[in-house]
Structure 1
């Protein structure tokens, strides 16, 4: 119960990596605000936490909207009294080659990932700075290194890495750690959607990804949640401004 008396806010917490992270925090003692653009999935995760004896609140929030983000953070503080951990998992994909990518493809991905992370971090630091304690973990991706058909997503995820490094410098004097986690191929609804959109059988896609991975398997949401939990623990108290790749190899 290393997170007893701590409060975590997880965006994109209704599914995939966000859901696994919310459950991991709760099982280690934290109260968890589970946020998602749709309240239904967020409430499912929050209900599971409560059924297991934990404390959880589900909040619907579009992270592209400043008013909704600030209201979400305020509700977390009003409900649980403080905010210790921010994990930004909210995200979408709108893949296309550069000559086919529309303004909507670009704006939707950049606003959700990059602007959404910025708005959440800005709102959270207003709580964390006065209490002189906090941990932020932003979700990047191996696509930050470049990936065909993902100009928008790669740019957003690379930007998130720069944001994490910069905020580690700015917020470090207030005892706030800021890091990024960059997953490789993780078995989630998002990667299944990639298979469906490209007409590839999902099991074949996973098999091909595993063959390219030194550990010879694809990642699970829990693999990423474990690294996030480490970065929010006191074991990582001197780790800040880092990007940890969770990809089964170098």
Structure 2
């Protein structure tokens, strides 16, 4: 346990697995009390159990980031338990494997509503309490695909690219509007990370790495802990003069 986030209360979406879970564990290990939210309550509960086993403090709540009422109920749960919120991590995200030609309206709406609209809805509800609590920080999760199209095949996922491309501009707009409330807003853009978000077995296969190493400068696949470290720093007072940026955590992917 460290004290980087001592006496801070954090709200994390999509924290039942992957980068969200690792971020919840990281913030809790650094002293924060964490509200672990996920559309799958059992997964959120499992993250809470891991935090408590390590000596941290956490609560869980079922939250579909498309549902304002669920978001507001989770914010109220944090307020009832701890009286305040200081940190927000907008991590929840999805993708479907649709090319431009076969992309449906339902698939477009599903991905864009969670990846982009969901970040706006969550931020709008959570930052009300952060402002009441004296201010704090927000980190949104983007991806290198906010800037480049990444595909090892013949098609992209245009709805995913478009949804994530909106996150850096949403981040900048929120940074401008929330500055007067003493709330900083930044985003992190992961590159290839070993989670099951896409296909864990595929991402970590020798064939996938052969493709990826043509872009990577750091010769390995990223881990959820790499992203959690960046998120933790941006949320901390160590980054108090950093606002409105997108920070790539990509092993140099965007450099080439």
Q: Same fold (TM over 0.5)?
A: yes
Match of residue 60 from structure 1: 62
Match of residue 192 from structure 1: 199
The runs of 5 or more residues in structure 1 that have no matched partner are none
Match of residue 83 from structure 1: 85
Q: Which has the higher helix share?
A: 1
Matches of 1:219 and 1:225 in 2, distance apart?
Answer: 11
Residues 1:39 and 2:41 are matched in the alignment: yes
Q: 1:113 aligns with which of 104, 108, 115?
A: 115
1:194, distance to aligned residue in structure 2 (A): 8.8
Matches of 2:141 and 2:204 in 1, distance apart?
Answer: 26
Match of residue 160 from structure 1: 167
Matches of 1:15 and 1:139 in 2, distance apart?
Answer: 14
CA contact 1:98–1:151 (8 Å) conserved in 2? yes
TM-score, normalised via structure 2 length: 0.92
Matches of 1:138 and 1:64 in 2, distance apart?
Answer: 16
SS of the equivalent of 1:191 reads coil
Q: 1:246 aligns with which of 249, 252, 256?
A: 249
CA contact 2:194–2:204 (8 Å) conserved in 1? no
Matches of 2:120 and 2:62 in 1, distance apart?
Answer: 18
The CA RMSD over aligned residues, in Å, is: 1.6
Matches of 1:79 and 1:24 in 2, distance apart?
Answer: 21
Match of residue 144 from structure 1: 146
1:20, distance to aligned residue in structure 2 (A): 0.5
1:188, distance to aligned residue in structure 2 (A): 0.4
The runs of 5 or more residues in structure 2 that have no matched partner are 150-154
Residues 1:131 and 2:138 are matched in the alignment: no
Give CA-to-partner distance per residue, 1:101-158, whole Å, 9 cap, x none: 0111101100111111011100012112223311100000111124242211111111
Give the total of aligned pairs. 246
